[in-house]
Amino acid sequence: MMNIQKELFKDYPAVNVKEESISSNYLYRNSLFNKYRNRMVVNPDLNRSLISFQANKKEPFYRWFKYKEGFSKRFVEYILSIYGISGNQQIILDPFAGVGTTVITAAETGYHAIGIELLPPAILATQVRIASSNVNISELKNILSQIRGYDFNNKNVPPDYFFKHVDITKHAFPAETEIEIANFNIFKSCIHNENIKIILDFAVTSILEDISFTRKDGQYLRWDNRSDRNLKSNFNKGKIYDFKTRLIHKLDDIYSDISSRNNAVTIDNVKIINGSCLEKLHDLSDESIDFVITSPPYCNRYDYTRTYALELAYNNLTNQEIKNLRQALLSATVENKSKYNKLLEFYSGIGKKEYFLQLVNNFESEAALKESVNSLVSHKNELNNKNIPSMVHNYFFEMNLVIGELSRILEKGGKIIMVNDNVRYNGDDIPVDLILSNLAEKTGLNVDVIWVLKKGKGNSSQQMGIHGRKELRKCVYVWGK
């Protein structure tokens, strides 16, 4: 077992761990559960819809697109009603901003907000929300009228205007749709109003799935058998929409929502930082943030770069740039490699090597995490992917650094509210809520409460068939300083 441990932690300074610390499969995880037992409280106000994207489906703006990751606007409003002091110049941060639910909701209710995000389609979704609050509605109406009369079937289109496919998106559209997209790009090139350009770009990205031979399916794209790809499956996704028809329908929804708002708030107190919070958090000053509302990627093998491949290609990312993006995102897929050396170099370059090593020590001393990782390693041959142990290891290493930085920048009396999921691999539970909370305490944060949803999350059908039905806790953590 000690050899297994060294294999997983080989990039890190040596850690003195006694043999008995990994001799029992759940010894340290049970100990951690007992430590936080009295701080785990069922919150009847919370449900799966509220802390997921489901509650957004009928909300203006959120109905414009199919970004299913993250929590709802009503959840942010709920948190602000408990901890916020509107109009008091409070600054709210979301280091995993996604489509901007936290920052936009906070800004609309009088707060200053900062979001950090790396995924281009998510950044565009936040930008369109800001653009829609500032756009000239008459000018937008005029553009819609022009689009209705525009010829999207002109075949004499220069090559530069066609969709720039990457390997994973080739043959994603019917031939006529490729021409229509190219014609749209010509139309867009004549638009000089930045707010309208953002709205148009967003409208196209939000219909790419509808007009393609693909469907988002878990962490991958599922391909329709009518595409020109060599497929074994006979999957048929149903209707594939015409580009112009779908674009106009989407723009009509957007125009309707924008024009129907009464006394709409102009969103000008939001700052969006493009990049990874593993690096960008260092640009924020000590004790400069009043509180944090966030939901990081879960440790569940979800690969955003594959799910949103069409949207990334539309943003003109190349194959290599998508691969680089996959590695830059928080490690949550089996393809992610260790960022230890890169982050050590980064911290050293900004004169914070000792601080980095202190956070590494917090991570290395987390016995329940070692127990979880080594348990996975010892059953590696039973896992459906041998890289799951290293993924789990890398995930917690990076989250530990994020938590350390959040602790540093949080104002005294501030709160961190985090939504995350526990995970299970090969029937082995990993208590993400307890491990992250314990790491938070090591940075000086207090674990005020771990709100538990009354109804948890069931295991996958694959695991259920082997290990039986067993719920995983779904939680919201509240940490204070």
pLDDT in tens, 432-477: 999 999 999 999 999 999 999 987 665 554 555 555 557 888 899 9
User: 293 and 418 share a domain?
Assistant: yes
Q: What is the sign of the dihedral through the CA atoms of 114, 96, 120 and 287?
A: positive
Q: What is the pLDDT of residue 22?
A: 37
Q: Which domain holds residue 222?
A: 130-259
Instruction: Tell me the C-alpha distance between 448 and 478, whole Å.
Output: 6
Do the domain assignments include residue 245?
A: yes
User: 69 and 136 share a domain?
Assistant: no
User: 106 and 136 share a domain?
Assistant: no
- Average pLDDT score, the chain: 88
pLDDT exceeds cutoff 90 at 221:
no
Instruction: Tell me the C-alpha distance between 182 and 273, whole Å.
Output: 30
Instruction: Tell me the C-alpha distance between 460 and 467, whole Å.
Output: 10
How many structural domains comprise the chain?
2
Which has more confidence, 218 or 117? Answer: 117
Q: What is the pLDDT of residue 220?
A: 82
Do the domain assignments include residue 209?
A: yes
End-of-domain residue from the set 207, 230, 259: 259
Do the domain assignments include residue 93?
A: yes
pTM across the whole model? 0.90
Q: Mean pLDDT over residues 80-104, rounded?
A: 88
Do the domain assignments include residue 322?
A: yes
Which has more confidence, 286 or 381? Answer: 286
User: 395 and 274 share a domain?
Assistant: yes
Q: Mean pLDDT over residues 211-216, rounded?
A: 94
Q: What is the pLDDT of residue 384?
A: 87
Residue 318: which CATH number?
3.40.50.150
Q: What is the pLDDT of residue 58?
A: 67
pLDDT exceeds cutoff 60 at 7:
no
Q: Mean pLDDT over residues 130-152, rounded?
A: 94
User: 224 and 290 share a domain?
Assistant: no
User: Distance of CA 311 to CAs 18, 203, 276, 308, 350, Å?
Assistant: 49, 11, 19, 5, 34
End-of-domain residue from the set 259, 283, 315: 259
Determine which helix (DSSP H) or strand (DSSP E) holds 369, and give its type and residue range: helix 367-378
User: 323 and 427 share a domain?
Assistant: yes
Residue-wise over 386-408: b if at least 16 C-beta within 10 A, else e?
ebbbbbbbbbbbbbbbbbbbbbb
> What's the one-letter identity of residue 461?
S
User: 113 and 134 share a domain?
Assistant: no
User: 343 and 248 share a domain?
Assistant: no
Residue 86: burial class (beta carbons within 10 Å; 0-12, 13-18, 19+): exposed
User: 96 and 174 share a domain?
Assistant: no
User: 177 and 291 share a domain?
Assistant: no
End-of-domain residue from the set 208, 224, 259: 259
Do the domain assignments include residue 54?
A: yes
pLDDT band at 81 (very low <50, low <70, confident <90, very high): very high
Do the domain assignments include residue 90?
A: yes
pLDDT single digits (tens) 387-410: 999 999 999 999 999 999 999 999
User: 286 and 431 share a domain?
Assistant: yes
Q: How many Å is the Cα radius of gyration of the chain? A: 23
Do the domain assignments include residue 122?
A: no
Do the domain assignments include residue 124?
A: no
User: 19 and 91 share a domain?
Assistant: yes
Q: Mean pLDDT over residues 228-255, rounded?
A: 92
Q: What is the pLDDT of residue 336?
A: 93
Instruction: Tell me the C-alpha distance between 213 and 225, whole Å.
Output: 8
